[in-house]
Amino acid sequence: MVKPMPSPTSLPLRLLDWYDRNARLLPWRARPGEMADPYRVWLSEVMLQQTTVQAVAPYFLRFLERWPSVHALAQAPVEDVMHAWAGLGYYARARNLHKCAQVVSEWREGHFPDDEDALRKLPGIGDYTAAAIAAIAFGRRAVVMDGNVERVMARLFAVREPLPAAKPTLKGHAASLTPETRPGDYAQAVMDLGATICTPRNPACGLCPWMDACEGRKLGIEESLPAKVEKAEKPTRHGLAFWTVRKDGAVLLRRRPPSGLLGGMMEVPSTPWREGGAWELEPARAEAPLNAEWRLLPGLVRHTFTHFHLEMRLATARTGNNPLARGIWCPLDQLGDQALPTIMRKLVRHALAKAY
């Protein structure tokens, strides 16, 4: 006897039943059926933008311990917030996080708005984050779309159109399933389904509560979905950084401009990052933070950003106790207290290994 296909209205209920038994235990998440703290939801969702759960969890716990409320975060110096964020990447998120905390603390008396339109007006909150906060923190029916949800919808409905063009279609399918009841739990359930069962490779279809409704599985094309347009190869940029050591052992750092890539973070002074080949030492001297006897260190430091690869050479020099240079002199044992992004930490490690 052929089993009848499940009706679309039964799919959310089945998924919620699966979630009640299989929800991931995450530090920002309330138990199924309970309302979450809006501050925790907002903080976690901003951190989770383009970053994995595994990477975010320790940062979230440290932030929460240091700044347990939106008022506390709003009152913190932005330099402290940037330092606490260092290593998590996409540093504009940290600047917007602090700005948003100040707006909510000062103008909304610490209360986040509970609807998507108002949430989108806050710094750093776009469509996805607004929908996630509205659904998870306030129980609003909102369509939450991240990469996990897109993958689940593409397979469930066998959407062959490649991303990003398929996004409106996938959101339409997601909207058709989003229930009025427990929309926050449902949103988290779909994301959990994509993260733990409907994975990019080797999906565990036999454990999926939507297995018998999945059109992609019936056609045998589930692992090929969602289709994606092949990305252009990332260009490679080049830079040369200057590791300047004062007579007392301190090294020179400077703060990057407040806007743009790595805005507001501390850096080892360097040339501009350009395409077209590595910097040689002689032309790079014009970008050095001071006049000194520079020498190149062996090896390269490599890092990949969202839109390009970066290759950095490192030059080092020693100087007297009071040289004229823009920046701050940081003792070696205090480098860990600086807001150094990952690329700069790599440069520090390279310098410590090669310059001493």
Catalytic residue set: 45
How far apart are alpha carbons 247 and 66 in whole angstroms? 36
Three-state secondary structure call for residue 150: helix
User: In one letter, which amino acid is 197?
Assistant: I
Token pair in block for residue 42: 């907002």
The contacts of residue 326 (CB under 8 Å, 6+ apart) are 254, 289
How far apart are alpha carbons 189 and 183 in whole angstroms? 10
Judge residue 280's burial from the number of C-beta atoms within 10 Å of its C-beta, 0-12 exposed, 13-18 middle, 19 or more buried: exposed
The contacts of residue 260 (CB under 8 Å, 6+ apart) are none
Q: Are 47 and 89 a contacting pair, CB within 8 Å?
A: no
Give, rounded to a whole angstrom, the gap between the first and last alpha carbons of the chain: 77
How far apart are alpha carbons 109 and 30 in whole angstroms? 23
Angle among Cα 292, 294, 298 to the nearest 5 degrees reads: 165
How far apart are alpha carbons 196 and 208 in whole angstroms? 10
